[in-house]
Amino acid sequence: MEDVAREVHLSPFFLQRGFSLMTGYGIGEYLRNRRLYEAALDLQRGPEKVIDIAFKYGYETPESFAKAFARFHGATPTQVREGAPTRTFLPLTIQITIQGGNQMDCKITPMFPFKVIGFQKEFDYETAYAEIPRFWDEICEKYANNVYAGNDPANPYEQALVDNCIGEYGVCIDDIGCGKFRYLIAGKYTGGSVPEGMALYEFPRGEWAVFDCIGPNPQTLQSVNTRVFREWLPANPDYELCGNATVEWYDCINGEPTDPDYHSAIWVPVKRKEQ
């Protein structure tokens, strides 16, 4: 994935996110499905040994290959060789279509450097969309519910949450590699001590594409995220993505995330394209 990202001038994080939004598949999932389909064709075409096919498509043992194969096709390699039907998974064909005349609510905004503080956890590209909401629930239950109920902070973590408005930002940072990234439930750092286990991250000065989102979450943010990669990015003649982090902004003062008029935003670092 890192090699492909370099070829298309994106960070691995933006490549994975864009691929998933445009195709509905994670990159790893797409590769596994294609390999298992090609493996079935090899079994149907000739007498090649199962162990050789397993190694050919990246499996360390025939047992791990057989298990993944049966889960995908609903039949074992032996059964497929004997004529059992298989699942078809052809190469994807991606078409970019710009529809309608409505404009996305986007503005390019220069920002001075700013620093955030937050609760941090590492996530895998393949499972992040399901796991990140659970991380929010965990942090709210552990540190936020007490102060949201109107009580005074009971520990340094709750104090940091109050002092820095933690929960205003969700920050994705791609600086780990190996198919993983950091995610911070964060707020703008106002100074002071950083409790053990919490993290700071500083964004450099630069330009950001800011996409306003009006509507209940997470549906609205996910919908706008998809449009950024399917419509705004391919059609934009002036700007391209840069950096290795994105920000989701949440209105912590007005309304609830499930309200039909809730205000949130997506911030994406950009730079002008070279002429």
112/77 same-domain check: no
Tokens of 74: 């609903």
| CA 191 from centroid of its chain's CA atoms | 29
In a domain, 124, yes or no: yes
In a domain, 99, yes or no: no
Tell me which range, 83-87, 142-146, 253-257, is most confidently predicted by mean pLDDT.
83-87
137/196 same-domain check: yes
In a domain, 134, yes or no: yes
Specify the pLDDT at position 100.
Answer: 44
In a domain, 228, yes or no: yes
In terms of C-beta density within 10 A (0-12 exposed, 13-18 middle, 19 or more buried), how is residue 66 classed? middle
172/130 same-domain check: yes
CA-to-CA distance for 204 and 210, rounded, in angstroms? 16
Summarised one tens digit per residue, pLDDT across range 180-201 is 889 999 999 998 889 999 999 9
Q: For helices 62-73 and 27-45, what crossing angle results, to 10°?
A: 100
User: 198: how many CB neighbours lie within 10 A of its CB?
Assistant: 19
Count of domains for the chain? 2
56/124 same-domain check: no
Tell me what the pLDDT averaged over the chain comes to: 88
43/136 same-domain check: no
Tell me the pairing of strands 245-250 and 169-177: antiparallel
In DSSP terms, which residues pair with 117 in a beta bridge?
187, 200
Specify the pLDDT at position 243.
Answer: 81
**Which residue in this structure is represented by tokens 């969309």?**
129
CATH of the domain at 72: 1.10.10.60
Specify the pLDDT at position 101.
Answer: 41
119/52 same-domain check: no
176/213 same-domain check: yes
160/222 same-domain check: yes
User: Regarding predicted confidence, which is higher, 124 or 275?
Assistant: 124
Tokens of 34: 């294609």
114/229 same-domain check: yes
Summarised one tens digit per residue, pLDDT across range 33-72 is 999 999 999 999 988 999 999 999 999 999 999 999 999 9
Phi/psi at 250 (5° precision): -125, 135
pTM for the model stands at: 0.74
Summarised one tens digit per residue, pLDDT across range 156-174 is 999 999 999 999 999 999 8
CATH of the domain at 157: 3.20.80.10
Read off the pLDDT of each residue in 258-268 and give the average, rounded to a whole number. Answer: 92
Q: Which domain holds residue 200?
A: 106-272
In a domain, 88, yes or no: no
160/245 same-domain check: yes
In a domain, 96, yes or no: no
Ranges 91-100, 116-125, 158-167: which has the least confidence: 91-100
Read off the pLDDT of each residue in 217-237 and give the average, rounded to a whole number. Answer: 83
User: Regarding predicted confidence, which is higher, 35 or 219?
Assistant: 35
Number of H helices, E strands in the chain: 11, 9
Specify the pLDDT at position 97.
Answer: 56
**Which residue in this structure is represented by tokens 């609205």?**
220
Specify the pLDDT at position 150.
Answer: 85
User: Regarding predicted confidence, which is higher, 98 or 118?
Assistant: 118
| 3-state SS class at 150 | coil
125/70 same-domain check: no
